[in-house]
Structures are given as C-alpha cells and as structure tokens.
C-alpha cells in the first residue's frame, strides 16, 4: 500500500516582526496561506529506509546535507519505537530555501504520510511538537490551511476565511539566506495585526494586506537586489492587486482576482526572465 501527500507552497501574505527572544529567535505575526503548487511525497513499505528525490528542482538540494524528509522519518520512528522502514519518493517542484516553506512542507508531508503508513495515531499536540523540532515553519505546514502564525512558529491558529484568488509566484533563483536577512533588518518592531474579518473578495484581501507589510522585505532586497526587480515586474502586470515578498525571500507573489490574468502574467514573466522560477496557482487558504 502506497500513501501520498502534497507539500504545497507556504505563502506569508504579510509578516510582522514583533519582538525578539533572549535566545535570539524573532517573534512573528503572520498570515499564512497555501498555493496549489508544490512537491509530492509518496511512501510505501520497505525493509529499511530509502529516499528517492526527483523532479525539476531536485538538483538544487545540497548533496552533502541530510534531507529534512529523512530527519522527519527518523524523528517519528524514534517517537513511535520502531525502525524507519519506508520507501519514499519526493518529487521536487518548488525552489530550495525560497521563503515558501519547500523543505518545511516536505517535512510536514513526511510526518503525515508516515503516520498513516505506520499506523501511528499520535495526538495532534504531540505531532505538532515533533514538527517544531524539525523547524519553525513545519507546524504551520502540518496544519496546511490558512493560519494566523505567532511566536517563532509554534503559535498556529485558524485564520479568517480567505476568498477565492490567484497567486503568481516568482523566484529569481538567487540564494537569500534567512540569517543574513534577519541580521540586515533595521528599525523598530511592529505591532501584531491579525485579520479579524474575512475579506469578501480578492480586492478586499488586497486592501487588508496593503495595510500590513513584510518587515523583512527591505533587508532581503539589500541581500538580493533581484527581489526588488521581481516585485516591480509583478506589480506592473495587468490585474495584479498586490505584490509582496513571502517569508524571508527570495520568492515574491502577485495577488490576482482572475485565473486568466494570473496565467498570462506568469507566462509573460517567465518569457522575460527565463532563469527565474515562475508559477501561477490558486490560493488554497
């Protein structure tokens, strides 16, 4: 029996840095949504552990590092008192270290799919605690729905309902290390600003997001100037209601009301910037 899970792209519709803990970790307030594009993880029974990575962006993964999917498998196996026996196939479509939770989504998918394969019925809180040990973004990816994120990533609460909308995701395919971005951030901390009312449509969502921001954008542009160019090109496309960076970069997104406008924009951006990664996808919430 084979189990399958989709690891969808995580998008920070806004991101406020609201403080910093004594251990150096920053405290965040962010509205997280997911796009209908991502990686795929399949798991089946095996004698021992085997991970095969394929797909258009598989070659971007660092060869010397242990994949976070394997770390998730060994962590869950240790918690359930068994060997990590599984044959996994990860199909990579998302860029790596791109601010859209590719690795975190893969880890969350691994926890979910292996829990089903192994019949591990862990309480939700315990599974989320394992997710947090793998990375700050893994719990929200495990939730897999529109989420209001707080703390360093451990505060995961359902967000208001999001309206139908489309995203155009763009990544200039240049490294944007998260530590360097946080180190470059300047200015005071922001106040939390969670959405308290569900936007009626994509235009209302864009208006609400325009009152908020990504506090890491200026710092990320200082590290990778191409992010600024990506934002400018997105904002210039017909139908783009809002252009913003996701997470700590380098992926940016344009918010669109109509599918046709989003797909035309993605095609035009890809044609003008063939080295970039570009995708149009529905907002999954």
The residues carrying an active-site annotation are 10, 137
- Nearest Cα neighbor of 137 from 99, 179, 191, 175 is 99
CA–CA dist 184, 192 (Å, integer): 21
List the strands of the sheet with 166-171, edge to edge: 240-245, 252-256, 166-171, 277-282
- Nearest Cα neighbor of 255 from 246, 59, 54 is 246
CA–CA dist 168, 258 (Å, integer): 11
**Strands 166-171 and 277-282, how do they pair?**
antiparallel
Both ends of the chain: CA-CA distance in Å?
30
């Amino acid at each position: 029996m084979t189990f399958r899970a989709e690891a969808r792209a995580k998008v920070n519709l806004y991101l406020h840095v609201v403080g910093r803990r004594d251990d150096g970790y920053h405290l965040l307030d962010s509205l997280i949504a997911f796009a209908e594009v991502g990686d795929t993880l399949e798991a089946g029974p095996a004698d021992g552990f085997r991970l095969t990575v394929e797909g258009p962006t598989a070659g971007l993964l660092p060869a010397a590092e242990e994949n976070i999917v394997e770390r998730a498998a060994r962590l869950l196996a240790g918690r359930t008192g068994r060997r990590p026996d599984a044959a996994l196939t990860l199909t990579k479509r998302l860029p790596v270290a791109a601010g859209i939770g590719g690795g975190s989504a893969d880890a969350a998918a691994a926890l979910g799919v292996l829990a089903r394969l192994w019949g591990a019925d862990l309480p939700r809180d315990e599974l989320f605690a394992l997710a947090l040990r793998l990375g700050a973004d893994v719990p929200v990816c495990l939730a897999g729905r529109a989420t209001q994120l707080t703390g360093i990533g451990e505060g995961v609460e359902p967000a208001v309902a999001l309206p139908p909308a489309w995203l155009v995701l763009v990544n200039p395919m240049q490294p944007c290390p998260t530590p360097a971005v946080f180190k470059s951030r300047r200015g005071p901390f922001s106040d939390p600003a969670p959405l308290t009312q569900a936007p009626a449509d994509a235009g209302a969502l864009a208006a609400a997001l325009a009152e908020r921001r990504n506090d890491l954008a200026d710092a990320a542009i200082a590290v990778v100037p191409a992010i600024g160019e990506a934002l400018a090109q997105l904002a210039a496309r017909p139908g783009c209601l809002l252009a913003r960076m996701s997470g700590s970069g380098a992926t940016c997104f344009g918010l669109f009301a109509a599918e046709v406008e989003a797909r035309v924009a993605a095609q035009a951006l890809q044609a003008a910037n063939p080295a970039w990664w570009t995708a149009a996808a529905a907002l999954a919430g």
